[in-house]
């Protein structure tokens, strides 16, 4: 754990502390992570030594192997090339460990100047070291087709067959070595710098809610308060704060979209999202089929549900700040940390004791950072770090039912990452489309456990409604985000976009996806600006919809035949990035390339909405 530093409470900290005292529930002791599995502290000798070792070993690797892979490939046993790949993998692990620690330390408090400098310096040095490794995958891809076929069948090189097959998919888009090196080294001052500007801007922002200056997470929490006036004040304050900074966010968006267009054009990608599809190891037609299926389902899903929710609220249309509001006349349950932990581990354990055992380590060994703190990165994530260590989960836990589901979601990622780690640094990482499978499945298990605990129609309706809203946010909202991104990147190719133009594209896609039962006001026009996926991972968002629909299909298989399912499921997670989605889904009788596949997942959401409508007759 990083050593704590005594400091005087700032005005912002005092404000958030006052907010917690006044409005925050008693959640019990919330855990803070212990990063010592990576390094003891920012100023530790171990970190400095590893940073220096990474630079020297990367240079030595470059001197030993650059220009030599064609010769090594002539060894039909594959032993020499396998040894080179193993050395490359070890260096990737070392660099990953360094940047994992730097990134997690920075995300703990992005407002701290010392941490920001530490992260920036580490990023520069790791980028410089990895430049010496850049040649390796490029040279592997230049080996003649078939040169390695015999060696890949068995022997030491066979272990790396999936990784070699994956990097070969990028062969048509790779550039001359010098250009690749230029792109790589300039990433620190190109998209990396704009990513950091976004992070530091959004974290430093304070929103004026009734005279209190609140950070992003407390404001978003107020937008789900039981009191409508509180939700409205928070929503309007959030929109106003974003609007005041909209020129900065528009500049970030314009610059990153142009940066991506330049890269895509040089590499020869035909579609604006093709680079993401390649990284996700998913075919464009599969994503197109998913997006089309979800858009076609808008009237049956989001439009239908929000019409029903507006009826519960007794209005013809919901204000946008009521979209995720608690249902009227239904007390919102607060989950202290210990209860949330027991709910999630209980749901995991009922499905698979092994899965619960892995998840329990996150609590017991301090792999979770849960409290809301000034400067802490907003949202939630599970960082896989490196196979020699373990994942870390960041939350901003505030005791809502959705926070319990977020805990279940991120622990799903964490379990997946732990199980995949034995594949090594090159093959443990999972494409984003499949990376969301375990997280969404963990949510589904937890939801079913909570639903089974309901005793009244009102409780069941509240639980079902919360899950439907989460699924709409995961499927409908993310495809709307994907459509918005496509529109922004397409229009950006014609010239720079003004903040108003970006906002107009945002409002068009939101209106289409949410339907006439949601009233979008002027304050909502700037809400696109705070969504980090648009900045950090262009076109990432469809992975959520992919994962949710995939999990709905998986869960249907589980309900129909539970015997042996958990074993097959854990085997799928353990494969990491070593198999294509078609191979991983085959044991379950599922095929994402079949257009009918997406209808299975969408039908589950539609069925839950129908269940809610049926409860109306019983109420």
70-82 tens-digit pLDDT: 999 988 899 999 9
**How, if at all, do strands 392-394 and 381-383 pair?**
antiparallel
pLDDT band at 618 (very low <50, low <70, confident <90, very high): low
pLDDT score recorded for residue 128 = 94
> Which pairs count as long-range contacts for 6-13, CB under 8 Å and 24+ apart, including other chains?
10/374, 11/213, 12/206, 12/213, 12/215, 12/374, 13/374
Q: What CATH number did the domain enclosing 159 receive?
A: 1.20.140.70
Alpha helices by DSSP H, listed for 77-159, are 79-108, 113-131, 134-142, 149-153
| CA-to-CA separations, 408 to 179, 320, 342, 355, 548, in angstroms, rounded | 43, 27, 11, 12, 14
Whether 419 is covered by a domain: the verdict is no
Residue with the bigger pLDDT between 606 and 582: it is 606
Q: Determine contact, residues 95/129, Cβ cutoff 8 Å.
A: yes
pLDDT score recorded for residue 150 = 83
pLDDT score recorded for residue 7 = 29
* Dihedral (CA of 573, 575, 577, 580) sign: negative
Whether 434 is covered by a domain: the verdict is no
Structural domain total, the chain = 1
- Let me know if 317 is exposed, middle or buried by CB neighbors in 10 A (0-12, 13-18, 19+): middle
Whether 285 is covered by a domain: the verdict is no
Condensed to tens digits (0 to 9), the pLDDT of residues 489-515 reads: 999 999 999 999 999 999 999 999 999
| CA-to-CA separations, 180 to 54, 131, 170, in angstroms, rounded | 20, 9, 13
Condensed to tens digits (0 to 9), the pLDDT of residues 583-592 reads: 989 999 988 8
What the block records as the tokens of 527 is 């809400």
Condensed to tens digits (0 to 9), the pLDDT of residues 237-284 reads: 999 999 999 999 999 999 999 999 999 999 999 999 999 999 998 999
Residue with the bigger pLDDT between 91 and 590: it is 91
CA torsion 534→535→536→538, rounded to 10°?
A: 40
Q: Which of 18-32, 136-150, 236-250 has the highest mean pLDDT?
A: 236-250
Residues 6+ apart with CB under 8 A from 14: none
Work out the angle between the directed axes of helices 432-452 and 401-420 (0-180°, nearest 10).
130
pLDDT at 436 over 90: no
Whether 166 is covered by a domain: the verdict is yes
pLDDT band at 131 (very low <50, low <70, confident <90, very high): very high
Whether 83 is covered by a domain: the verdict is yes
What the block records as the tokens of 486 is 């496509």
Question: Average per-residue pLDDT in the chain?
Answer: 91
pLDDT at 149 over 80: yes
User: Position of tokens 């409780």?
Assistant: 459
- The whole-number average pLDDT for the span 593-609 is 90
pLDDT at 427 over 80: yes
Q: Determine contact, residues 119/68, Cβ cutoff 8 Å.
A: no
Whether 106 is covered by a domain: the verdict is yes
% of the chain exceeding 70 in pLDDT? 95
Give the span between the Cα atoms of 249 and 233, in whole angstroms.
23
Whether 24 is covered by a domain: the verdict is no
What is the domain range of residue 105? 40-189
pLDDT score recorded for residue 12 = 31
pLDDT band at 434 (very low <50, low <70, confident <90, very high): confident
DSSP symbols for 478-508:
HHHHHHHHHHHHHHHTTSPPPHHHHHHHHHH
pLDDT score recorded for residue 619 = 57
pLDDT at 21 over 70: no
Q: Which of 164-168, 176-180, 374-378, 392-396 has the highest mean pLDDT?
A: 392-396
pLDDT at 321 over 60: yes
Whether 185 is covered by a domain: the verdict is yes
Residues 6+ apart with CB under 8 A from 134: 177, 180, 181, 184
| CA-to-CA separations, 424 to 35, 126, 390, 531, 574, in angstroms, rounded | 21, 20, 12, 32, 11
């Amino acid at each position: 754990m990083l050593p704590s530093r005594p400091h005087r409470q700032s005005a912002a900290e005092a404000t958030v502390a006052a907010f917690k005292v006044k409005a925050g529930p008693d959640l019990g002791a919330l855990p803070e992570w212990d990063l010592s599995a990576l390094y003891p502290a920012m100023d530790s000798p171990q970190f400095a030594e590893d940073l220096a070792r990474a630079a020297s070993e990367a240079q030595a690797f470059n001197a030993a192997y650059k220009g030599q892979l064609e010769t090594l490939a002539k060894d039909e046993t594959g032993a020499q090339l396998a040894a080179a790949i193993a050395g490359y993998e070890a260096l990737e692990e070392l660099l990953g460990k360094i940047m994992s620690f730097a990134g997690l330390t920075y995300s703990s408090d992005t407002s701290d100047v010392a941490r920001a400098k530490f992260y920036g310096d580490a990023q520069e040095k790791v980028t410089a070291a990895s430049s010496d490794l850049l040649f390796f995958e490029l040279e592997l891809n230049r080996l003649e087709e078939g040169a390695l076929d015999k060696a890949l069948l068995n022997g030491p090189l066979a272990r790396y067959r999936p990784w070699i097959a994956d990097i070969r998919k990028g062969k048509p888009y790779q550039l001359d070595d010098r250009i690749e090196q230029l792109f790589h080294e300039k990433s620190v001052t190109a998209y990396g710098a704009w990513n950091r500007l976004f992070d530091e801007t959004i974290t430093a922002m304070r929103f004026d809610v009734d005279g209190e200056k609140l950070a992003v997470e407390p404001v978003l929490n107020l937008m789900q308060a039981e009191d409508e006036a509180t939700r409205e004040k928070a929503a309007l304050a959030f929109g106003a704060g974003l609007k005041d900074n909209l020129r900065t966010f528009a500049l970030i968006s314009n610059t990153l979209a142009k940066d991506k267009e330049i890269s895509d054009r040089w590499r020869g990608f035909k579609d604006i999202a093709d680079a993401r599809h390649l990284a996700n190891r998913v075919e464009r037609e599969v994503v197109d089929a998913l997006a089309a299926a979800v858009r076609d389902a808008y009237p049956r899903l989001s439009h239908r549900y929000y019409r029903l929710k507006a009826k519960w609220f007794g209005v013809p249309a919901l204000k946008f700040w009521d979209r995720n509001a608690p249902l009227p006349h239904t007390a919102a349950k607060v989950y202290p940390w210990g209860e949330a932990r027991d709910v999630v581990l209980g749901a995991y354990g009922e499905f698979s004791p092994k899965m619960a055992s892995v998840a329990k380590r996150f609590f017991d060994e301090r792999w979770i950072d849960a409290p809301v703190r000034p400067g802490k990165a907003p949202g939630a994530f599970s960082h896989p770090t490196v196979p020699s260590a373990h994942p870390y989960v960041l939350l901003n836990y505030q005791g809502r039912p959705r926070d319990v589901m977020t805990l279940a979601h991120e622990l799903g990622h964490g379990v997946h990452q732990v199980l995949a780690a034995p594949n090594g640094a090159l093959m443990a990482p999972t494409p984003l489309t499949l990376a969301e499978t375990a997280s969404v499945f963990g949510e589904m298990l937890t939801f079913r456990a909570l639903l089974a605990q309901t005793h009244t129609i009102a409780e069941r309706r509240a639980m079902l409604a919360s899950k439907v809203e989460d699924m709409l946010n995961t499927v409908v909202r993310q495809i709307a985000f994907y459509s918005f991104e496509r529109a922004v990147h397409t229009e950006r190719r014609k010239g720079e976009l003004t903040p108003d133009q970006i906002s107009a594209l945002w409002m068009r896609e939101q209106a289409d996806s949410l339907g006439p039962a949601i009233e979008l006001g002027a304050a909502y026009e700037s809400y696109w600006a705070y969504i980090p996926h648009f900045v950090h991972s262009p076109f990432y968002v469809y992975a959520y919809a992919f994962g949710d629909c995939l999990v709905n299909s998986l869960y249907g298989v589980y309900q129909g035949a539970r015997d042996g399912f958990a074993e097959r499921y854990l085997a799928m997670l353990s494969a990491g990035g070593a198999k294509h989605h078609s191979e991983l889904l085959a044991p379950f009788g599922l095929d994402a390339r079949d257009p009918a596949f997406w209808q299975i997942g969408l039908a589950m959401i539609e069925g839950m909405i129908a269940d809610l409508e049926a409860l109306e007759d019983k109420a």
